Amino acid sequence: MIADRKDDHVRHAVNHQRQATGVSDFDSVTFVHHALAGIDAEDVSLAVEVAGKQWNTPLFVNAMTGGSIKTGEINRQLAIAAHETGIPLASGSMSAYFRDPSVAGTYRVLRQENPHGFVMANVNANATLDQVRSAIDLLEADALQIHLNAVQEVVMPEGDRSFGAWPRQIERIVADTAVPVFVKEVGFGLSRQTVTWLREAGVSVADVGGRGGTNFARIENDRRVGGDFGFIESWGQSTPNCLLDCADIPGIGIAASGGIRSPLDIARALALGADATGVAGAFLETLVSHDTAALIDKIGTWLDQLRTILTVLGARTPADLVGADLLITGDVANFCRLRGID
Which one among 57, 122, 169, 238 touches ligand FNR, defined by CB under 6 A?
A: 122
Report helix, strand or coil for 49.
strand
Site string for ligand FNR, 202-221 (x = CB under 6 A): -------x---xx-------
Interaction pattern, residues 137-156, with ligand FNR; x per rule: CB under 6 A: ----------x---------
Given 62, 77, 114, 134, the residue binding ligand FNR (CB under 6 A): 62
Strand 29-31 versus strand 326-328 pairing type: antiparallel
Contact present, 203 and 220 (Cβ < 8 Å): no
Task: Supply the minimum distance, in Å, between the C-beta of residue 324 and ligand FNR.
Answer: 22
Q: What is the DSSP letter of 276?
A: E
Amino acid letter for position 188: F
End-to-end CA distance of the chain: 48
Q: Which of residues 66-95 bind ligand FNR (CB under 6 A)?
A: 92-93
Q: Smallest gap, in angstroms, from Cβ of residue 150 to ligand FNR?
A: 13
**Shortest reach from residue 32's CB to ligand FNR, in Å:** 27
Q: What is the CA radius of gyration of the chain?
A: 19
Shortest distance in whole angstroms from residue 337 CB to ligand FNR: 26
Answer for which of 125, 138, 174, 260 binds ligand FNR (CB under 6 A) is 260
| Minimum distance of ligand FNR from residue 63's CB (angstroms) | 4
Torsion of Cα atoms, 320 then 318 then 281 then 7, to 10° = -130
* C-alpha distances out from residue 310 to 88, 114, 214, Å: 21, 28, 27
CA 277 to the chain's CA centroid: 7
Query: Using CB under 6 A as the criterion, which residues of the chain lie in contact with ligand FNR when the complex forms?
Result: 9-10, 13, 62-65, 92-93, 122, 147, 184, 186-187, 209, 213-214, 257-260, 279-282, 284
